[in-house]
Chain A
C-alpha cells in the first residue's frame, strides 16, 4: 500500500513569503506528526494530530507556524513570513494510534525548505 506522501519534495522561497507543506498519511492512520530536521541534526517535534484535533501545539517554534488536518487525513503545515532559520527538512509521520507506545511512526520523504 501507499506510504506517507509529502509535497512538495523541495521548496525554495524568499524570506518573508508564506509556504504551505502538505502531508497525506497512510490510509487509516489516525495519528499524524510533524517534525523538523535541521542540517546535520536530529528530529525536532513540532505538533501531532489525533484525528483532526491537535491537543498540543507547544512544539511549534513560533506563532508563524500553524497546522491543520481535515477529514482525519491530509495535513497542512503553514509557515508565515518565512525566515532563513526556518530552512530545514520538514518530516511528516503517521501511526495507527497516538497512545500506543508500541506503534512505530512511518515517515514520509520530507519537504526540504530553503529560505533565501
Chain B
C-alpha cells in the first residue's frame, strides 16, 4: 500500500482564492512527521510546513496551513490568498520514527499535485 496518497494530479485556483491540496497517509507508527514541499518549474524542492503526529494544533506558516486530521490520517495543505507564484508541484511527505529496514528514516513522498493559479 502507498504510504502517501495525493489524489489530485492537477488543480486550478483563481488568484486571491484559497485552495486545499489533499494528502492521506498510511503508517502504524505513533511518532511521525508530515511535510509539504513546493517544487516550481525551476526544480528546487522548497520546504513549506511541518506537522508532528503529537501536535494538537494545526501548523501554520504564513499563507500555508495544514489541516491535520489524525484519525482520518489526512494532512491537507491549505493555501490562502493564492498568488501567481504559487503555481508549482506540491508534494506531501512523511517521515516515520521507527527504524524499518530498507530506506529507514527516509522522507517518503506522494506523487504530487500540480497547482495552477489563474489570473
| A residues adjacent to B (C-beta < 8 A) | 31, 33, 41-43, 45, 48, 55-56, 58-59, 89, 91, 93, 98-99, 101-110, 112
Contact = CB atoms under 8 A, between A and B. Distances in A.
A56 B33 contact: no
B118 interface: no
A106 B45 CA distance: 8
Given A58-B102, A101-B31, A110 B44 contact: yes
Interface in B62-100: 91, 95-97, 99
A45 B109 CA distance: 9
Contacts of A101: 31-33, 52, 95-97, 105
Contacts of B42: 109
17 contacts: A41-B111, A42-B91, A43-B91, A45-B106, A48-B104, A56-B101, A58-B103, A59-B103, A93-B45, A98-B104, A99-B99, A101-B95, A101-B96, A101-B105, A102-B52, A107-B44, A107-B46
A89 B45 CA distance: 12
Interface of B: 31-33, 35, 37, 42-47, 50, 52, 91, 95-97, 99, 101-112
Contacts of A43: 45, 91, 107, 109
Contacts of B107: 33, 43, 45, 93, 105
Nearest to B49: A104
Contacts of B112: 42
Contacts of A55: 104
B104 A56 contact: yes
Contacts of B33: 101-103
